[in-house]
Structure 1
Amino acid sequence: MKKWVKILLIVLLAVVLLAAAYVAYVFISYHRIGDQPLTPVQTPDTAPSLSAGEAYTLVSWNIGFGAYEEDYGFFMDGGTESRAWSKERLTANMDAIAGYLKQQDADFYLLQEVDTDATRSYHVDEREPLYAALFDKSSVFCQNYDSPYLLYPLTKPHGASQSGLLTFAPVNIAAANRVELPVEGGFMKLLDLDRCYSVSRIPAEGGKELVLYDLHLSAYTSDGTIATEQLKLLLADMQAEYDAGNWCVAGGDFNKDLLGDSSSYFGAADQEYSWAQPIPEGVFDGYDVQLVAPLDESDPVPSCRNADSAYHAGQYVLTVDGFMVTPNVTVSDSAVLDTGFVYSDHNPVKMTFTLN
């Protein structure tokens, strides 16, 4: 055998061994965080409890780990980028997000995709500008996933990610916990990562509680049924709390077309996508829980764009962000706040509600 052939075989063998070692690392490193109690950050200046009959406002926003500015396209959505443009642009955008949230002057905030230590966001703890802007609120952070290093794209790997859900409230959160959600098995679990929702228990008058849920359901699944199973688990949880006499409010990114057919409001896209399906009929049957899908039919604004490229006319847009409430919560208004997708691939959604 010629020397160059031997060298080539050795190189190929080394590549195969390295690839096998990396695959083994990814599967061995993969883990689920599981159910666990969370530690709220209390603020001494907050009110002692919530009051029935008083109107409260809530803003929910998937901030897209601070990277999805209007000119950003993500590689898993058909774009090219795997990380924020730069650390400088990321931190500037996070400051802008924090400032925008403060301007809303809401009582509650439910945030998703807040990175604490991730390659894609240059290991910036994105909670810090949010804490600084909303310093007068109590809060609780819930880690959604802790993913192993993704060695793709090869030129600029997405890397490892620690990210989660951040909740703010005007009253000290008495207790909180993380609830694990089912995820798809096999290789897909590496793409969709871990999933959970956070539960914050907030004192209200009469010894009752507002049970507040922050959620981010699965997106990168093979058939969309996993997100439906996740939703059913949350519905059962809310029903149990309602049966116990508590008020329940949930908000976040459902990764479902909450309008059923968003294209009828926002027009057909220049490409077809199927990652966000409508919630199947019958999912809410048997539950005293109402879906609140924010929509102004006279001036419809989508809550999400597909980040296949920079934001442009004809891009696939829809509403996947919204709320759920139990019958003892009255919703007087809900809306999508039109930011023009300047800060994230999601627009914030806002709801005004009263505890009956």
Structure 2
Amino acid sequence: MLKKIIKWSLSILALILLTVGSYVAYLFLDYHRLEDNLALEVTNQTSQDEFAVGQTYSMMTFNIGYGSYPSDYSFFMDGGDEVRARSKKAVEEALAIDKDLITSANPDLLLFQEVDLDGDRSQHVNQVDYFTQGLTDYSWSFAQNYDSSYLFYPVTDPIGQATSGLLTLSKINFQEATRYQLPIDTDINKFFDLDRAYSVNRYGTNSGADLVVINVHLSAYTKNASIQKAQLAKISQTMESEYAKGNYVIVGGDFNHALDDNARNDLTWMKAFPVDQLPAGFILAAPSNVPTVRNIDQPYNPNTTLTGTIDGFILSDNIIVDTIETLSNDFASSDHHPVLMTIRLQ
């Protein structure tokens, strides 16, 4: 009997090891990154082909959290309880709230982050289609951030597979758009912080210079400070290159750094933004009226939930910022609030 128990125990152990080994092999074999400097398809469908110097334009950046984080949601990677969106209906309700916010603000330029093309975590709602088919007054480009393998984590309720990215919409037609890789962790952490990229979206102006709009979502969970530094350095190279040509440059998105004085070194996504490392000729613009992000370790409570400002813009000094503000809806549809800015090209 003892021999049988040992035999069965060893067989079960061998099966477990084989399963785990096969899954790890699948992760490494399936892992891939899109190539750097990748031309993006643009869909132009407006009647305007250039921005005008001196005219006021509005611009919004919004991390929609793939439509999965209502105000009473808590996320496992931040210490909360939940993993995936609760239902397809819940995702669609969140996206409808987002769309109402956008329609009300009516921005000329709109930068989205964490827009799922498909994903177990977002109940397979195609969010690119949702916004591009619902906001037909805009031309658009989509840059895939990542196409993750199936993540069997947590084991009892896996977050699964996701294809997600950066969606840029504009009431002015694009000249072109390009996706660039960002440096990321190369160890096991690459499976959890996922791939990172930024999109460079180019528009014409009546001054002859280009308006270059960069949509970005920097790494959130990496503990490697050199990766965060390298990501900012690569974006800065693009900024400097375009500025040297006499172009107007705007970088907008989720920087996963504190853009105000409320940095937290214990959180990888809220360390102080290194303003002193911005290239010459650039300024940081962030709202101060209402925080742009909440920690999702617990349902949102205005009295106890940690909040901060990590969403905003970097602009070249040939652009005037007239106003910038957070549009608050108490995190009804995302763990982020949208940021709205008005600008003028000089």
Q: Normalising by structure 1, what TM-score? A: 0.93
1: CA distance, partners of 2:281 / 2:147: 34
1: CA distance, partners of 2:179 / 2:275: 28
1: CA distance, partners of 2:35 / 2:308: 31
How far off is 1:287 after superposition? 2.6
How far off is 1:228 after superposition? 2.5
Q: 1:278: which partner in 2?
A: 272
How far off is 1:244 after superposition? 0.4
- One-letter code of the match for 1:240? S
Q: 1:61, 1:110 within 8 Å by CA — same for their partners in 2?
A: yes
- One-letter code of the match for 1:7? W
Q: 1:66, 1:93 within 8 Å by CA — same for their partners in 2?
A: yes
Q: 2:64, 2:112 within 8 Å by CA — same for their partners in 1?
A: yes
Say whether residues 1:101 and 2:91 are aligned partners.
no
What 5-or-longer segments of structure 1 have no aligned partner? 264-271
- One-letter code of the match for 2:274? P
- One-letter code of the match for 1:174? Q
Q: 2:203: which partner in 1?
A: 202
What 5-or-longer segments of structure 2 have no aligned partner? none
Which of 312, 324, 328 is the matching residue for 1:338?
A: 328
How far off is 1:128 after superposition? 2.1
Q: 1:192: which partner in 2?
A: 193
1: CA distance, partners of 2:284 / 2:240: 13
How far off is 1:262 after superposition? 5.3
How far off is 1:34 after superposition? 2.4
- One-letter code of the match for 1:288? G
Q: 1:311: which partner in 2?
A: 300
2: CA distance, partners of 1:294 / 1:324: 12
Which of 281, 287, 291 is the matching residue for 2:280?
A: 287
Change (3 A) 1:223 1:52: same
1:1-356 matches, within 5 Å, as 2-35=3-36, 36-43=38-45, 45-261=46-262, 273-280=267-274, 282-284=276-278, 286-296=279-289, 301-312=290-301, 313-356=303-346
Q: 1:46, 1:138 within 8 Å by CA — same for their partners in 2?
A: no
2: CA distance, partners of 1:245 / 1:159: 45
Query: Hey, which bits of structure 1, 4+ residues long, moved more than 4 A?
Result: none
How far off is 1:259 after superposition? 0.6
- One-letter code of the match for 1:282? D
SS of corresponding position for 1:88: helix
SS of corresponding position for 2:201: strand
Q: 1:62, 1:253 within 8 Å by CA — same for their partners in 2?
A: yes
SS of corresponding position for 1:120: coil
Number of residue pairs the alignment of both structures matches: 343
Kindly provide the CA deviation profile for residues 258-312 of structure 1, in whole angstroms up to 9, marking residues without a partner as x. 113258xxxxxxxx6454100236312x43211112113xxxx110011112111
Q: 2:59, 2:341 within 8 Å by CA — same for their partners in 1?
A: yes
Kindly provide the CA deviation profile for residues 209-257 of structure 1, in whole angstroms up to 9, marking residues without a partner as x. 1101100000110144422221121112111111101111110000001
Q: 1:235, 1:287 within 8 Å by CA — same for their partners in 2?
A: no
2: CA distance, partners of 1:276 / 1:96: 26
How far off is 1:67 after superposition? 0.2
CA RMSD in angstroms comes to 1.6
- One-letter code of the match for 1:221? T
How far off is 1:140 after superposition? 0.4
How far off is 1:47 after superposition? 1.1
Change (3 A) 1:280 1:248: closer
How far off is 1:78 after superposition? 0.8
2: CA distance, partners of 1:350 / 1:235: 23
Q: 2:98, 2:333 within 8 Å by CA — same for their partners in 1?
A: yes
- One-letter code of the match for 1:256? H
Change (3 A) 1:236 1:314: same
SS of corresponding position for 1:354: strand
1: CA distance, partners of 2:244 / 2:268: 36
- % of aligned pairs identical? 39
Q: 1:228, 1:279 within 8 Å by CA — same for their partners in 2?
A: no
Q: 2:94, 2:334 within 8 Å by CA — same for their partners in 1?
A: no
Q: 1:224, 1:277 within 8 Å by CA — same for their partners in 2?
A: no
SS of corresponding position for 2:85: coil
Q: 1:302, 1:336 within 8 Å by CA — same for their partners in 2?
A: yes
